């Protein structure tokens, strides 16, 4: 990367440094901050970024309607430093574009990470004095296209938004003039760019689903869960929001994702376990009513079985699978007329009071599995929530009687 001084009127601001080595027709000039001799941080509107990049979709092998300025060499070079736009990466593009649109239009507060762009060619940085301050501009020669070695899904999503026929021109213009952040790596061979791809995508550790959920302030269910975790006395200050598992000597009594699943199942029934850590649809749910019913149900459940919830080693009442089933049982309260809820809640509690929550063979086939050495392991909600729900709720199910240590009813022919 070379740095030269220049003088030119750019964006209404007159630069006053020497014109040596500056050619305003040399390419696209982008405001930047040099990091080192081959790395530059740029601040750029998408309408300008579009001039120095290709839509990643047209760089895929076999892409249809490929622009005339995209060559097979471009496709091959892209394949050396990037993976294909397929599977989860491809399906994420419309969702990412929708997020960008909401952010651009002020409908959602959010942040976009810097993209990392690369070229084998050496680029030049030019200095201009603007209002007494020296500003730097990166020159990308006309015809040269930078390749995204990180953040390609984001770049593809920006192009997708501009091509979306359902969006108005006002949205597209607002997006085109919005500023984005990127780091440009120039004058580096493709083997080094591949190493950068590895470093950017492999060395970092993705946050676990618990942390991701706890940080998502836009999820309406999480807003309900957050208030419940504070307002249900038994849970206040005792919700594990970070770790995947509660440590043996921890004062925490419930994991955040288990509390969330419980609330989701109150809205969707036991089928709510299919959503897992993904957003659950709540467009047809009265969130205020859900919060009220969930808070009341979890308050009486935790007050009634507090001892069992505390005994994580010896009882199953606080496992995620059982809590998912308990939440599904609470759906009967949400769908009941308000005047009937107290009676139904007490009936549910009376049924659960009969349950033997201690770990034992009576839970095998539902929440527990036994290892060859005779130890018990806990089954997850997706694996066993339906079986646990039947055991807690369905009096015609054999497990219903087993977990209550009741004699199983005689069947026809006995």
**DSSP, res 200:** I
Which pLDDT score, from 0 to 100, does residue 244 have? Answer: 80
**Contact call for residues 255 and 214 (beta carbons, < 8 A):** no
User: What length is written for the chain?
Assistant: 414
Same domain, 196 and 217: no
pLDDT at 15 over 50: no
Domain count, the chain: 2
> pLDDT tens for residues 75-122?
999 999 998 888 888 899 999 999 999 999 999 888 999 999 999 999
Give the integer Cα–Cα distance in Å for 207 and 197.
19
pLDDT at 41 over 60: yes
Which pLDDT score, from 0 to 100, does residue 237 have? Answer: 93
pLDDT > 70 fraction of the chain, expressed in percent and rounded:
93
Same domain, 368 and 335: yes
Q: Which of 154, 186, 203 is the last residue of a domain?
A: 203
**Do the domain assignments include residue 65?**
yes
Same domain, 37 and 172: yes
Q: Please, which residues have CB within 8 angstroms of residue 300's CB and are 6 or more apart in sequence?
A: 345, 349
Same domain, 94 and 144: yes
Same domain, 176 and 237: no
- pTM for the predicted model, two decimal places: 0.69
Question: 366 — phi, psi (to 5°)?
Answer: -120, -95
Same domain, 105 and 226: no
The residue-averaged pLDDT of 355-368 equals 96
Same domain, 193 and 316: no
Q: Please, which residues have CB within 8 angstroms of residue 166's CB and are 6 or more apart in sequence?
A: none
pLDDT at 318 over 80: yes
**Do the domain assignments include residue 412?**
no
Beta bridge partners of 289: none
**Do the domain assignments include residue 414?**
no
**Do the domain assignments include residue 101?**
yes
> How confident is residue 2, by pLDDT bands cut at 50, 70 and 90?
low
> pLDDT tens for residues 123-172?
999 988 877 788 899 999 999 999 999 999 999 999 999 999 999 999 99
**Do the domain assignments include residue 408?**
no
CB-based burial label for 294 (10 Å; 0-12, 13-18, 19+): buried
**Contact call for residues 46 and 178 (beta carbons, < 8 A):** yes
Closest CA to 330 of 311, 352, 312: 352
Domain extent for 111? 2-203
Max alpha carbon distance in the chain (Å)? Answer: 103
């Amino acid at each position: 990367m070379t740095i030269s001084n220049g003088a030119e009127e750019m964006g209404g601001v007159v630069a006053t440094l020497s014109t040596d080595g500056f050619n305003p027709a040399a390419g696209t000039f982008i405001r930047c901050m040099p990091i080192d001799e081959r790395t530059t941080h740029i601040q750029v509107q998408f309408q300008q970024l579009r001039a120095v990049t290709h839509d990643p979709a047209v760089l895929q092998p076999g892409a249809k309607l490929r622009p005339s300025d995209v060559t097979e060499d471009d496709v091959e070079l892209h394949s050396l430093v990037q993976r294909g736009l397929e599977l989860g990466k491809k399906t994420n593009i419309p969702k990412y574009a929708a997020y960008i649109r909401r952010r651009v239009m002020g409908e959602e507060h959010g942040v976009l990470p810097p993209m990392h762009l690369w070229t084998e060619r050496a680029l030049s940085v030019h200095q201009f004095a603007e209002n007494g301050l020296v500003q730097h501009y990166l020159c990308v020669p006309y015809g040269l296209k930078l390749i995204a070695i990180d953040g390609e899904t984001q770049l593809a999503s920006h192009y997708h938004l501009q091509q979306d026929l359902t969006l108005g021109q006002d949205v597209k213009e607002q997006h085109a003039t919005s500023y984005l952040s990127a780091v440009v790596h120039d004058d580096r061979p493709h083997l080094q760019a591949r190493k950068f791809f590895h470093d950017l995508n492999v060395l970092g550790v993705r946050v676990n689903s618990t942390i991701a959920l706890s940080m998502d302030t836009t999820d309406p269910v999480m807003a309900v869960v957050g208030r419940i975790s504070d307002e249900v006395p038994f849970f206040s200050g005792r919700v594990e929001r970070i770790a995947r598992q509660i440590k043996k000597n921890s004062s925490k009594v419930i994991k955040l994702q288990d509390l969330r699943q419980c609330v989701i199942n109150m809205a969707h029934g036991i089928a709510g376990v299919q959503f897992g850590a993904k957003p659950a649809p709540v467009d047809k749910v009265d969130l205020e009513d859900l919060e009220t019913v969930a808070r009341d149900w979890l308050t009486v459940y935790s007050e009634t079985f507090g001892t069992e919830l505390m005994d994580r080693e010896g009882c199953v009442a606080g496992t995620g699978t059982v809590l998912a089933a308990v939440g599904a049982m609470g759906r009967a309260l949400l769908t009941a007329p308000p005047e009937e809820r107290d009676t139904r809640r007490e009936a549910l509690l009376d049924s659960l009071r009969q349950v033997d929550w201690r770990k034992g063979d009576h839970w095998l086939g539902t929440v527990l599995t036994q290892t060859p050495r005779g130890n018990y392991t806990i089954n997850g909600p997706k694996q066993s929530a339906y079986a646990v729900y039947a055991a807690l709720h369905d009096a015609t199910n054999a497990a219903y009687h087993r977990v209550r240590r009741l004699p199983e009813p005689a069947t026809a022919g006995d």
